[in-house]
Amino acid sequence: MRTGLFLDTVFSCARKTKPLWSPPFMATIRPFRALRPSPELAEQICELPYDVMSSEEAREMAAGNALSFLHVSKPEIDLAPATDVHSTEVYSRGAENLDRLIADGHLRLDDHPCYYLYRQIMAHHSQIGLVAVSSCEEYQKNIIKKHEFTRPEKEDDRVLHMEALNAQTGPVFLTYRAQPGMDEFVARKTREAPEIDFTAPDKVRHTAWVIREKADIDFITGEFENIPNTYIADGHHRSAAAARVFESRKGAGNSPWFLTVIFPHNQMQILAYNRVLKDLNGRTPAQVLEKLAVIFEITENGPAKPAGKHSLGFYLAGKWHGLKLKQEFSNDSDAFESLDVTILQQHVLTPIFGIDDPRTSNRIAFVGGIRGTVELEKLVNSGDLACAFSMYPTSIEDLMAIADADGVMPPKSTWFEPKLRDAMFCHML
């Protein structure tokens, strides 16, 4: 499955001016009645998010599985391949498919509001998030911090999907600065027997616990009253769309809240988001290396994966070169300027390769780190692309620092793994 290569347009890096004063708000979360799969069917129902695969890939993944949630999250797979994915027919089919899963008892709505714990294990990495609903109003007030621009057409798609289904079926991936009280509570609760536990085809294990007791619910709610902010890791368009639905419905029903899974920051796994370029901007390989040598210390036959911050891997003409940023080009006092993706854009992509704006250039593509550096070699060796840069992953601390300053990160700065599975929890509006 191709989940890592993106050729779509992206927003360029930018910053916002930080307000002179910010009121001392705290994060507000609530328990909710989740729509959840029957435990014995969860492995058949739950699927990867809608936006990490193409429609063709989704058709292949759901083939022969009428219970696959891709019939809800990417309902175009049930229609003719030429169907416009943004047509009313597509959203209506998604609603019909969700209604069918509910009517047949495959998805069931909990009787009472609960919190939930959701653990994912990917190889040697484990992370446990709290499933709750977060406040659309706090999203609007930037208590829930953002670090990316959104694209109107992608917001529109999620709005239409939520409105047709009358539900939020894809959670937003949030993080918060870890708190000892929550850590201890989660460690104790996850020693109990889970309600759902399965391993998906991609070898990621998904486990869920339900928090029903009032004392436990009150404890969690109270803990988050001491947390000033949560941060969007992944799901900016789903958050923005939920806020728009909240406004259009004037707060009716459950629309003031949106579906989130909230992880402590020290459990987050961010992989590199690598770059491949289609040409050398009219330069020879030797000329490109000469230009790079002004900014970087270059090691021939260097490692494909950089070992630390301010190091890059550069694949050109069948060979990896290690690039280490020279000290005079480093500005670690500024979180935005210190990002390797910023350094690459400002010192390499714009002046050497003539790529001023990644959102409009068709000469750059982005490859999620989950695919590894072998994928970069394959793309360049095919002859379709000229060179590749492997990146050191952006840290969660950098992400939060930029979000705290009301900044916006360069496009494709982070690739979070593992991905949250759709249908583990749905929020009915």
CATH of the domain at 349: 3.30.1760
pLDDT above 50 for 428:
yes
Let me know if residue 406 belongs to a domain.
Answer: no
Please choose, from the candidates 135, 148, 159, 169, the residue with its C-alpha nearest in 3D space to the C-alpha of residue 244.
159
With a cut of 90, say whether residue 8 has pLDDT above it: no
Q: Average pLDDT for residues 104-123, to the nearest whole number?
A: 98
Least trusted range by pLDDT, from 23-32, 177-186, 298-307: 23-32
Of the two residues 12 and 248, the one the predictor is more confident about is 248
In a domain, 408, yes or no: no
Instruction: List residues bridging with 14 in a β-sheet.
Output: 408
Whether residues 383 and 242 fall in one domain? no
> 297 and 234 share a domain?
no
Within a domain: residue 411? no
Q: Are residues 233 and 306 in the same domain?
A: no
Does residue 380 contact residue 20 with C-beta atoms inside 8 Å?
Answer: no
Kindly report the length of the chain: 429
Same domain for 257 and 168: yes
Does residue 405 belong to any structural domain of this protein?
Answer: no
- The reply to whether 73 and 210 lie within a common domain is yes
Distance CA 71, CA 422 (A): 11
Report yes or no: 220 and 404 within 8 Å, Cβ to Cβ. Answer: no
Give the lowest-confidence range in 193-202, 204-213, 361-370.
361-370
> Contact 39/94 with Cβ under 8 angstroms?
no
* Total structural domains within the chain: 2
Segment among 14-28, 74-88, 224-238, 319-333 with least mean pLDDT = 14-28
Lowest mean pLDDT among 57-61, 117-121, 357-361, 387-391: 357-361
Q: Is the dihedral of CA 143, 144, 149, 153 positive or negative?
A: negative
Residue 399 located in a structural domain: no
Specify whether 219 is located in the same domain as 298.
no
Residue 195 scores a pLDDT above 70: yes
What is the predicted pLDDT for the residue at 349? Answer: 97
User: pTM for this one?
Assistant: 0.88
Question: HEC profile for 341-388?
Answer: HHHHHHHHHCCCCCCCCCCCCCCEEEEEHHHHHHHHHHHHHCCCCCEE
Indicate if 278 and 248 belong to the same structural domain. no
2-11, 24-33, 160-169: which has the minimum mean pLDDT? 2-11
Is 264 in a helix, a strand, or coil? Answer: strand
Domain assignment of residue 289, given as a range: 273-392
In this structure, are 332 and 201 located in the same domain? no
pLDDT at residue number 152: 92
Asked whether residue 136 is domain-assigned, the answer is: yes
**Predicted pLDDT of residue 118:** 98
Same domain, yes or no: 133 and 166: yes
Do 214 and 298 lie in one domain? The reply is: no
Q: Looking at the structure, tell me whether residues 326 and 264 fall in a common domain.
A: no
404 belongs to a structural domain: no
Q: Can you read off the two tokens belonging to residue 181?
A: 């009280």
